[in-house]
Structure 1
């Protein structure tokens, strides 16, 4: 294992020190609970937005804390859900009187711990909490970590759109309804060329041969649909896009927000090449791309590979996407 770390047990805590040193102008850190807050939270009268999950997927979620996106992100250990105490602390801290929305990826530990925190917040502090569970991965219905579909790339787009809506003063009912709509409109599929190594484990999560790739991989290294021979970028794009388009389904004349996301170890030159292939396939299908992202936005440590996310977009989604955002991971118009 070759990693730029000190002690594997301290990776998350020490990374948070670095985040505050780099972004202390817009973030503050609760080191006891391992929670990243926007510096001006809570905002009175604004719906609070909280997400979180296991670390190792950066910039998700801590990189999306700030004006126009999240109010707080709870950091679990690498690939491990945050615990209810963390989530409860964040929920009560960001409540500005308008309620709090939990944005939860569909992994069993995340769902259970967020639910527990919501119940405690309601009972102990009378905070009104709603939740959206993101379940956009078309690769598998159930996995080692989930009951139902996994939550992956749509989470990034949802946090941006819902963040803009909350920033504009929409109510908790409106923000929660929007979150459900975005989740329903999004689909994702990924592939891995290599495994990744969790620092505490010290060895790769799984083994892939030089001439193999894992299709439908999860963000924790869990198995996908199948192991297939290594393919060209053109073939790989087809393997990712076809299941997405047939699942919702998408049709001629639809418009999407498209994301080609790196899993942490794939260079941008390859991600842009893949975006070109995805663009070509969508053009052939008569689907327009209203907005796009290309880069590392929801990763799996140093895994090589990529994922494709498509969110069917209407004018409201595009307007919310274009609204100002000022976070370490996304920034425009601010």
Structure 2
């Protein structure tokens, strides 16, 4: 190998490393709040500021765990979004079903920081949450509606007693299993044995946002059944002709449990089966991407 060729290859390798660093960067940030320092993991791709999705983990989870296991980091990268994974205190969120820290204040401060440091486009900040994190997303849609351009929630319904709710018209994507033993599809007590607060039904939650969005009548469509090894299937309930692009969609996983579709269930005998006809993170990021580009 000639010296010129070696120099060329070394330059190409260096350029590739620089390019890779520009494509995917990861850092931790700390926000000072009245509840003490709060932390979040930030993943950016490409040039900032970017459209940004804040992903709220489920109870007993963490930001890093959600980044690693839910598929939202990969889906955000594929669609050119920054992804932010904050940590709830004591691994949970105060979504309004009981007392706790000022998580609305924390997320407000997090958004301010992401805008101030040039990470997030303030017009394109979205929320996605899982279980307790999904309920927190609905709470934020009610209590801090001016901050977010869209809401996504998986295996979560609106917490009961959230009123007054000042939600503004934004696209909303929900994904719920009809056999969820933790967050009942038809509403009621949360938890395997109840006692963890109450939630609305999934369809009441979706209809609430459809009214806020000024949508027309509901439509239902069965999605292609790709996972022949599973007895679950997906029906998409859609509210269209809305004031906002994308409207409201509820992906009803027939027979689905308390599991993210597209991900293997950790305890299927306890939490119920998953579904692989859709991937929850990809469905939500695709909807956010459509809303920002049209």
TM-score range, shorter chain: 0.3 to 0.5
TM-score of the two chains, using structure 1 as the length reference:
0.37
Q: For CA contacts below 8 A with separation 6 or more, give which structure has more relative contact order.
A: 1
